[in-house]
Structure 1
């Protein structure tokens, strides 16, 4: 509880000092928590991040949109739900790409993957995996295809909800596939994040909140 209060205070303090035009954020339930907000804020404000692939529209999308008004960010958000994609798209300045899920074979596992990624172009130096909807095993496995296709050589990858067994399946495979990236778990609260990065960004492995 103390960590969560500390994170909340740090996030609100950073938003105020940066004078970010952030709408009210509600890090509750299945949404992003203050640990993820902290990582997004610190990574973008302290590092030369240019392009962000935001997988899963939501609270973090709104924060990224506010940061793009202060920093030179090119953001693409990918969302599976058409109504939610439209709703978030009306609140942000960047493109929200809608792609439904279809059965796919990704790295030898039958999962639900994105039907159409043709509107996503180029490489990204920050990829945030917070979708698609979680499953008990091989959760968000579709994110592996995105990372394979769109990660820049020098990059940072964040998996949210890294405390869950299904996400651990995906993170373990990700680590085996991308041995050039070094990662660690961040455990600020009930919901955790796993962050991996290339050597250019290795200092973020030492980010702390207490």
Structure 2
């Protein structure tokens, strides 16, 4: 009998209640699987966002580390450059003092070089230019330490004309009271203004400079004004705009702060002007805390490598 029941169960459909329970079980299992899949999907999405956030954080930290390393390297580089420039300045100071020790015309050597004033490389090169080139017509842009030297040279050498262009009347008065200027030194006070030049929209120049010096030629020009530290494209273009007409046949032009971009571009433009007019010249550099560039005619080329 039991064998017959078992056989009938295999061929006959199950009772409705049993069938329904089986369907419910399958549906419940499917719903559970769907919830599990949805839960897994949410977890995967959450992990993906966490990974993305982690990667962003890693990128930020990597950038910070790289920037810190770059900043440290730049700091070390600047320290190295400053140390090298300070050492060079000290060397030029010794060379300068040795050079002027027995000078016949530089009797007052109480200079205060540095900061806004010219440095020892400039003073050394200037002394050599004055002592060995012996210019007669001197133009100086900027009243200061260089004036103390040139004025003594002009006072000791007959027929020398020394013209100084300065914008600040208060500084002119103070300097004139502290240092006795000879009759051969004349100060011209000109205000400053901003003008466009080439691609630069604003370049600081002396107002009326070209009119005040029209028709004059100089064999020595010293350029340490007007203020040019904030000029990026060009700086101190007053003489440049009058070249080559303002130069004598034999000439020397000295430019202070030549490491700055404005002055560097101006010197390059000066060289281009000389080349375009087929004027043979030589260039020299004297570097300490600041850079001095010297452009001179071929006839006195030795001054570029003293």
Shared fold per TM-score greater than 0.5? yes
What is aligned with 2:248? 152
Larger radius of gyration: 2
8 A contact 2:199–2:233 mirrored in 1: no
Q: Deviation at 1:149? A: 4.8
Q: Deviation at 1:107? A: 5.3
What is aligned with 2:20? none
Quickly say closer, same or farther: Cα 1:97–1:65, change in 2 above 3 A. Answer: same
* Residue 170 (structure 1) aligned with residue 266 (structure 2): yes
* Residue 50 (structure 1) aligned with residue 136 (structure 2): yes
* Residue 206 (structure 1) aligned with residue 305 (structure 2): yes
Inter-partner Cα distance in structure 2 for 1:16 and 1:88: 25
Inter-partner Cα distance in structure 1 for 2:103 and 2:176: 24
Inter-partner Cα distance in structure 2 for 1:170 and 1:63: 25
What is aligned with 2:287? 188
Partner of 1:194, secondary structure, is strand
Inter-partner Cα distance in structure 2 for 1:71 and 1:108: 43
* Residue 126 (structure 1) aligned with residue 220 (structure 2): yes
- Deviation string, structure 1 residues 176-203 (Cα, Å, up to 9, x no partner): 1122253434143121111111121112
What is aligned with 2:175? 88
What is aligned with 1:137? 233
The match for 1:161 among 257, 264, 277 is 257
Partner of 1:63, secondary structure, is helix
Quickly say closer, same or farther: Cα 1:199–1:184, change in 2 above 3 A. Answer: closer
Inter-partner Cα distance in structure 1 for 2:281 and 2:137: 20
Alignment of 1:3-82 (within 5 A): 3-19=88-104, 20-22=106-108, 24-72=110-158, 73-82=160-169
Q: Which stretch shows the higher mean deviation, 96-105 or 27-36?
A: 96-105
Inter-partner Cα distance in structure 1 for 2:242 and 2:165: 10
Which structure shows the higher strand fraction? Answer: 1
